[in-house]
Amino acid sequence: MTLAAQIRQATEQALQFLFPGTEINPSMITVNQTKPEFTGDYTVVLFPFVKLLRQKPDELGKTLGEYLVQNVPLFSGYAIVSGFLNLSIKDEYWANFLAEEYNNEQFGLKAPQNKKVMVEYSSPNTNKPLHFGHMRNIFLGYAMADILKANGYDVIKANLINDRGIHICKSMIAWMRYGNGATPESTGIKGDHLVGDYYVRFNDAYKQEVAELVAKGVDEATAEKEAPIMKEAQELLRKWEAGDKETYALWEQMNNWVYEGFKVSYKRLGVDFDKWYYESNTYLLGKSLVEEGLKKGVLFKKEDGSVWIDLTTDGLDQKLLLRSDGTSVYMTQDLGTAQLKYNDFNGLHQSIYVIGDEQNYHMQVLKLILQKLGEPCADGVFHLSYGMVELPSGRMKSREGTVVDADDMMDEMIDMSRQQTEEAGKTEGFSQEELATLYETIGMGALKFYLLRVDPKKKMIFNPKESIDLHGFTATFIQYAHARICSILRKESLPLLPEKDTFRSFALTQDIAPAEKKLLVSLEQYPSILESAADEYNPSLICNYCFSLAQQFNSFYDEHSISKAENEEKKQLRLMLIVMTAQTLRNAMKLLGIRLPEKM
């Protein structure tokens, strides 16, 4: 049980004893870390009980504080500040906590819960390379998968590749028109970039043809439909859906170029997947669900033969599920894919879709339709919605070729880390190979952390220079704190772990200094932060925690010497404290896909 949970429990029991017959709802008890400017370690908020118990805040605080200190061995003292009860925890608790956990690699991890969770993320189109806009999705999905694993869930990381449709055919037509047989090998261009170049080439040609038709007197709406290159792409899609061998062979070849490119990018991004789904295999799914829905009367058919669901009583609208010609729409496909995912793993406790907030309505409708159809997968569908990320120059548009490719952004961040390290004169003692690894560790860490440090629900602007600031709210700041600890540990040898009784007697005879205690308080909170990050689907809580812990370490080390500690016992305690700090930082940042170097 975490310390905050113990304090909540002790507070509930104390209030029930002090005010017999009063119903105390545990949800009313709020326990926070005491603010640094006040005395104490944890704070109990008193205001929720004032009216219920007919007590003035300070009177209640005095009554409760005295009872807790006198009757609960955990507490050494209390202070009251304007309706808040600040409690101090005995040094003995912190010494025991450190002795128990300082070298525990499993600290903060939960036991298996026997609940299967699928996290679907990335889900790119095969008509272009991964671009910067994909990165928040990818890092968010990967981090949430590992955070859920750390909380005991059996996690399946999935990727649904959007490998069919008119957008794919646009790249194909442009290659057929302008490619002259170009391949990644013949051009030296990475496969996904090559295909993406032809997607942009299609759009350029399309805009030109529309302009030419408009110049001839055709209205713009008609010109957009009648542009020859668009009609060619539509015809190619019809051929693909009809199973034309030549069309299918070209589609397969160009997709394979993209897959090889994706493979390289995913490796550089440090992410992986357990299960791959392909839209070309799933786009026909869902029709059987539609038929069942018609039989059940959940869906209805219009005069033209199209099939719909009426969600107006749910505050939504009517939603098309089958066109009049019997072809499916994206929603139909998504219904079938949701069912497929569930069946593939003999049931899922939860199926998490990491998708941008522009799809909020679509995901709301998907879940609602599945519920109305009575599908067992319905309740587990969860949309991890996130805000778009932009660069300082504004929003990116792939069809206009204004996106920043993920590969280019990674190169830029790694180069920035190289420049920063060289300018700071921090390259001495490293081999060229070690420097290359260090630059990648710093650059990729900066990129991931900056995109994860903001609550997923919020939109954000990515500033490359700010993301790698050694003194800012960055991975670089945390990496440097970790490297600083490793430097200390290389100089100092850690004695054998003493018996817990030795620590207990030490804690009773000497005070744990305020800076030491603040670091211990932060370390003790890691399991709670890890749990909250999973419950709230919010890796930014881990980012904030790691930054705060690194700050606490810096404050501690600026105030207290380790090599010149007051005595050998104090030196050992401080060494154990920083060992646990480094280990917790490594474990927490690893969940975000970020490595911490031992030297910087």
The pLDDT value given to residue 12: 95
* Sequence-separated (6 or more) residues with CB below 8 Å from residue 252: none
Cα 481 to Cα 193, 375, 512, 598, 600: the distances in Å are 38, 50, 22, 10, 10
pLDDT at 102: 85
170 and 127 in contact (C-beta within 8 Å)?
yes
Q: Which residues pair with 158 in a beta bridge?
A: 120, 275
Q: Give yes or no for a contact between 202 and 170, defined as CB atoms under 8 angstroms apart.
A: yes
Radius of gyration of the chain (CA): 29
What percent of the chain stands above pLDDT 90? 82
DSSP state of 26: G
Looking at residue 399, its pLDDT comes to 46
> Residue 29: phi, psi to the nearest 5?
-90, 110
pLDDT of residue 381: 98
8, 212, 522, 569 from 565: Cα distances, Å: 36, 81, 22, 9
Residue 551 near residue 464 (C-beta atoms within 8 A): no
Nearest-5° angle of CA 14, CA 17, CA 22? 105
Q: Are 122 and 135 a contacting pair, CB within 8 Å? A: no
In the chain, the domains with their CATH numbers are 3-89 (3.30.1360.70), 165-272 (no CATH), 406-591 (1.10.730.10)
Residue 288 confidence (pLDDT): 92
Question: What pLDDT does residue 374 have?
Answer: 96
Over residues 422-474, the pLDDT tens digits come to: 998 888 889 999 999 999 999 999 999 999 999 999 999 999 889 999 999 99
For the range 238-241, what are the long-range contacts, defined as Cβ-Cβ under 8 Å and sequence gap of 24 or more?
240/164, 240/169
Q: How far apart are CA 259 and CA 129, in angstroms?
A: 9
pLDDT at site 310: 96
Q: Which residues of the chain have pLDDT under 50?
A: 396, 398-401
The candidate with the shortest Cα–Cα distance to 31, out of 111, 86, 73, is 86
Name the phi and psi angles at 517, rounded to 5. Answer: -65, -40
pLDDT, tens digit, 9 for 90 and up, residues 248-275: 999 999 999 999 999 999 999 999 999 9
Alpha carbon 470 to its chain's center: 23
- CA distance linking residue 366 with residue 123, whole number of Å: 17
CB 484 within 8 A of CB 550: no
